[in-house]
Chains A and B, each alone.
Chain A
Amino acid sequence: MRGWEPLTFQAKEGLALLNGTQFSAAYSVWCLLESSRLAAQADLNAAIGFDAFNCRLSPLDEHIHRIRPHAGQTAVAASLRNWLKDSAISVSEKTDVQDPYAFRCVPQVHGASRDALAHIAAMTLTEINSVTDNPNVFPDDDLILSGGNFHAQPLALPLDYLALALAELGSIAERRIYQLISGQRGLPSFLTDNPGLHSGMMIAQYTAAAIVSQNKTLCVPASSDSIVSCNGQEDHVSMAANAATKARRVVLNLERLLAIEFMVTVQALEFRRPLHSSPRIEDIVEAYREVVPRLEEDRILSVDMGKTVAFLRGR
């Protein structure tokens, strides 16, 4: 026992505690903190993917982003250039004139999600530093005013947007997985030395596709709904709470998707040997291989996926 006497709420106190958007806001903060890590992971995956799929570096060139200077796009291009600095693979001869969008348009696609996250963060920050109960008491102005600061529309729209922005990072990641296992660019089908006897990474893409599909259903905007409540007094509601719990599921799904992509992409990269990627990327690959060895023969991929999630979370 802590010696805490149970409180008896006095005038207005129960109401002040119950009004407010702290459930939706807490989810939004949690999702944003996770999202910044996941957005960085998506960039790293794509950078490794550039070398694994033997892509040209031209789509990352600063000239291109200077003439379409969205902040997210510019930052993602710079991030990928930075990851790929001094990669021997990236400066090796390229056979294809252009690469698929899942690689070539990473700055534009990842960048748009980053800009979305910046907007969602700005809305969330204003919200969590606000007073969201009702009525509001202004002692210095001798005012007690009834208003609507509890209405969570300023979180409902951003939380739906957050789900969409993260689902897109996952959607393009699954397309990169698909390209890498499809037997192109000198890579063996399903990234196994002996396709046929071994299925290699075949089913990893199924898992990724199942998650991407689930994310799409989770992107149906909760905020597009409203159901009249309280005898018509509350005749427009935001559904922010449903947007919030849904957004969290998309975050968790994205973490799993990016782990699968990382697992597949590292496997693909090693078919480029003796050439190497950048020192920064190769350091990470080496550390990862201490945890998850290269897939030589078929084994339980679920185990590798779980270890990959843990490895990336600990980085």
Chain B
Amino acid sequence: MHHIGPDHLSLETIDAILQENLPLALSDEAKRRIQHCRTYLEHKIQHSDELFYGINTGFGSLCNIRISDEDIEQLQHNLVVSHAAGIGDTVPADIVRLMLLLKIQSLSQGYSGVRLEVVERLIDFYNAGIYPVVFELGSLGASGDLAPLAHLSLPLTGLGEVWHDGRRQRADVI
């Protein structure tokens, strides 16, 4: 078992996690940080009229368009599906597995504002060996690896495709 926490992730640690097929779990400290950040963020959104990019605004050059409170979840859904615009060869499963690990590591530091269950679901996918189908082409490496990460995230919502038991399957049937 490897505990995701504030500890620095080294190449040696990653190699051991992969070679020994270690399952992942969040450390108590990581859980505390994630929850602390989410609680703060929710409180802030509720008690403020400010525009926060990507939270109550559009994305990219649409950042000055305000999104109403009732559309906030729809906005996040639309973001993920609209950005899932990858194409081409599929990314090898061993690299998708690393993407999951690294995304978990980054979100666990407690500066991103996601709920604990989002990070735990990523861990569930990792531990179950269910790797989202991601495509090689589509990222400019600028606003992040948007399209590949959209494909990585879709299956959390029951959309997109995954590799499981050596087969490519729809995410909603696994």
Contacts and interface: CB of A to CB of B under 8 A. Distances in A.
* A-B interaction: yes
A16 interface: yes
A30 B93 CA distance: 11
Given A10-B76, A133-B106, A135-B53, A236 B142 contact: yes
A17 B98 contact: no
A139 B106 CA distance: 16
A2 B129 CA distance: 13
A6 B154 CA distance: 10
A313 B31 CA distance: 39
Q: Nearest 6 CB-CB pairs, A to B?
A: A240-B141, A6-B158, A23-B145, A237-B142, A139-B40, A241-B139
Nearest to B80: A14
Interface stretch (A42-50, A95-103, A151-159): A151-159
Given A17-B103, A151-B141, 19 more contacts: A2-B174, A6-B157, A7-B121, A8-B157, A11-B76, A12-B54, A13-B118, A14-B76, A16-B114, A20-B145, A22-B102, A24-B141, A29-B14, A133-B107, A133-B144, A137-B113, A144-B41, A146-B53, A234-B60
Interface in B60-112: 60-61, 63, 72-73, 75-77, 79-80, 83, 91, 94-96, 98-99, 101-103, 105-107, 109-112
A229 B99 contact: no
Interface of B: 8-11, 14-15, 18, 36-37, 39-42, 44-45, 52-56, 59-61, 63, 72-73, 75-77, 79-80, 83, 91, 94-96, 98-99, 101-103, 105-107, 109-115, 117-118, 121, 124, 128, 134, 136, 138-146, 148-150, 152-153, 156-159, 172, 174
Interface of A: 1-2, 4, 6-27, 29-30, 32-33, 36, 121, 124-125, 128-139, 142, 144, 146, 150-153, 155-156, 227, 229-234, 236-245, 248
A115 to B, nearest CB: 16
A166 to B, nearest CB: 16
A150 B143 contact: yes
A245 B137 CA distance: 9
Contact of B124 (A4, A156, A239): A4
B114 A13 contact: yes
Which of A10, A26, A128, A153 has most B Cβ within 10 Å?
Answer: A26
Nearest to A26: B98
B76 A137 contact: no
B55 A12 contact: yes
Contacts of B11: 29, 32-33, 36, 121, 124-125
Given A18-B80, A136-B111, A137-B111, A10 B8 contact: no
B103 A22 contact: yes
A31 to B, nearest CB: 10
Given A7-B157, A125-B8, A27 B95 contact: yes
Contacts of A8: 73, 77, 157
A29 B63 CA distance: 33
Contacts, number: 244
Contacts of B150: 17-18
Contacts of B8: 125, 129
B60 A156 contact: no
Contacts of B60: 230-231, 233-234
Nearest to B110: A139
B102 to A, nearest CB: 4
A137 B142 contact: no
Which of B36, B101, B106 has most A Cβ within 10 Å?
Answer: B106
A23 B90 CA distance: 12
A157 to B, nearest CB: 11
A230 B61 contact: yes
Nearest to A131: B111
16 contacts: A12-B55, A12-B112, A12-B113, A17-B156, A18-B146, A19-B144, A22-B99, A23-B134, A26-B102, A29-B102, A131-B112, A136-B111, A139-B36, A150-B144, A240-B145, A241-B148
